[in-house]
Chain A
Amino acid sequence: MPEALIHVQPDFANWTCPLPLADYPTIVMGHGGGGKLGNELVEHLFLPAFRNAALAHLGDAAVLELAAGRIAMSTDSFVVQPLFFPGGNIGALAVNGTVNDLAVSGATPKFLSASFILEEGFPIAQLAAIVEAMAAAARAAGVQIVTGDTKVVERGHGDGCYINTAGVGAMRSGIQIGPQCAEPGDAILVSGTLGDHGMAIMSVREGLEFESQIRSDCAALNGLIANVLDAAGPSVHAMRDPTRGGLASTLNEIAQASGVGIVLQEKSLPVRTEVQSACELLGFDPVYVANEGKAVFFVAPEAASRVLEVLRAHPLGRDAARIGYVTADHKGILVARTAMGANRVIPIQIGEQLPRIC
Chain B
Amino acid sequence: MQLKTRTSSSPSQDTLTAAPAAPITPASSLGPMAVRANRRRTVIPNWLKLLLSNRFALVGSIMLLIIVLAAIFAPLLTTYDPSGIASAQSSLSPTSGNWFGTNQQGEDIFSQVIYGGRLSLTIGAIVGVLGVSLAMIVGMLAGYIGGWIDEALGVVMNIFLVIPQLPLLIVASAYLPVKGGLGMIIILSITGWAWGGRVLRAQTLSLRNRDFVQAAYLSGEPTWRIVFFEIMPNMISLMVSSFIFTFIGAILAEAGLEFLGFGDINTISWGTILYWAQTNSALLTGEWWHFLFPGLAIALTITSLVFINYGIDAISNPRLRAIKVAKQYRNQVKARAAATAAARVTS
Our verdict on whether A and B bind, yes or no, reads no
